Structure 1
């Protein structure tokens, strides 16, 4: 939990001043600039004021169940989903809301446990049967990292279709034409197929689906590199797969990016420390989790109109690919 003392140290004022600003004390004499600095520091440090914490409890948000579409061991190998869950948990901690984790198994979650919670945040893609079941057994339901095809349900996600389009446009501007993709067949894969087809560059031998782990990236990259005309750049579903792709490329005696480029999705912390550092699409995992909690707070507070929120992604160019225009990252 962030303390008033930490915020005060960041801005250069006393803890008492921070407390009075965050609790909207009208008798406090302080410059507008300093007031804004305190508020911005509190937001940056993810601090919840006593007023906000009380608001959560007063509105009946005391306990959330997090229903994950992955098993625990699957989540641990994908830092993106760890970050998303931590975003939910840190926001709940700031609001003093209890969380209970429910991971994917071969059986449905305990309905009584879900019904005892103020609401459920469902993490990741759920099929129609799972969505219907969750709706029947929860008071309030919000989806994180998934946009359900139902105008009565809340969800927050990043636009993977648009993110893939942006990446492909920039890779094309960097001079790449034979662009491969490995990973699950989700929105980013669908976007890849459509964009490459429209560009006249699609080759089904350059499109491989498989599990989104480091080992999956290694295996699929090894298969693609056996082609008579290997790709100029490989896009992987996530950064874990990119690590496997790096290993396969190095075992072939090839150089990144001189012989082949690699680009990916998620921008987990390890991406910047690979050799060479990995070009990737930054997806706002923690922010998705935090926003899901805010949607739940609104729902519990009485909001009836559903919200579907899309958060922006951004391209992070590093040394595993050429830059648009043909240069190399510094």
Structure 2
């Protein structure tokens, strides 16, 4: 259920002062007494009120700074997005502040506060989405989601995650695979949900089973792919293909397969997701879905700058084409 936004009227009523007094304390603190300022600040903190600075004509100047919220700065795919954002921002005379949130809503809130207090002009949220952001006034905080899912209240630039995962399923089916295992991303990540939905739909459309036991949770890291790969080989020896929800986990799974004395792709095919350049140098080169990360970043920055200039994007969900890159980590099921 969406939390009710606290109004300035409720703050004023809570401490028994006028709305004008609260407004002055927020916008011109030097014009109120120290005692009143402390009362207002305490009420603001207790009630969770967010001063709506952007609608009060206080933006007389810009900071020329964009914030990029990154859930995991070690994720290689995000580097592609950031490169695209940086190129557009620099051409427009903007600086980029990278906010490594470590998947923490509290850390995200601190960066969001920089926009609310005019220390930054807008935000690009990479991949995952903090549900608490949906409580912000969406018409006033310029924020674009890039590389994530459509399940956000803000404009989104993304690929069709479900469609891309379905392409992978159809590729494996065409090679004769009937026993697949999946290494997912984080359980609360919308991209995980979309990719699983797309793969399952295409797989089951051909009458093939995909039970929960064939799905192993990862966290998008190399290590989680390696550990999940070892689990699959040990627990599901009939598996002929492993679909990993990013390239880093796929490379970890490849290591597990090789350590087990199995051949890729003769014994087990492995597929990734993202299209990282490093996947070309995996052994063997990795079959994957390529997300155009730099393009996603460039378009996100362009749309955000337009919004900052007063032109909010009319299209709330912009889909960029993906591409299935078939390399040597997938092959036909071996007979016998």
Separation in 1, partners of 2:228, 2:319: 31
1:277 pairs with one of 285, 291, 297:
285
1:223 aligned onto 2:226:
no
How far off its partner does 1:143 sit?
1.2
Separation in 1, partners of 2:231, 2:294: 34
SS in 1 for 2:272: strand
Contact 2:170 2:202 in 1 (8 A): no
1:291 aligned onto 2:299:
yes
Q: Deviations over 1:116-143 (max 9, x none)?
A: 222211222213223324748x631211
Separation in 2, partners of 1:135, 1:266: 29
Residues 221 and 120 of structure 1, relative CA distance in 2, 3 Å threshold: same
Partner of 1:124: 127
Residue segments in structure 2 that go unaligned for 5+ positions in a row: 1-60, 186-191
Contact 2:166 2:201 in 1 (8 A): no
How far off its partner does 1:264 sit?
0.8
Aligned residues, how many? 260
Separation in 2, partners of 1:313, 1:121: 21
Contact 1:102 1:109 in 2 (8 A): no
Separation in 1, partners of 2:300, 2:328: 34
Separation in 1, partners of 2:166, 2:113: 43
Residue segments in structure 1 that go unaligned for 5+ positions in a row: 1-58
1:161 aligned onto 2:169:
no
TM-score normalized by structure 1?
0.72
Separation in 1, partners of 2:134, 2:161: 21
How big is the alpha-carbon RMSD for the aligned residues of Structure 1 and Structure 2? 2.4
Separation in 2, partners of 1:250, 1:277: 14
Separation in 1, partners of 2:113, 2:101: 17
Contact 2:66 2:96 in 1 (8 A): yes
1:192 aligned onto 2:199:
yes
Contact 1:205 1:224 in 2 (8 A): no
2:321 pairs with one of 301, 312, 319:
312
How far off its partner does 1:286 sit?
1.0
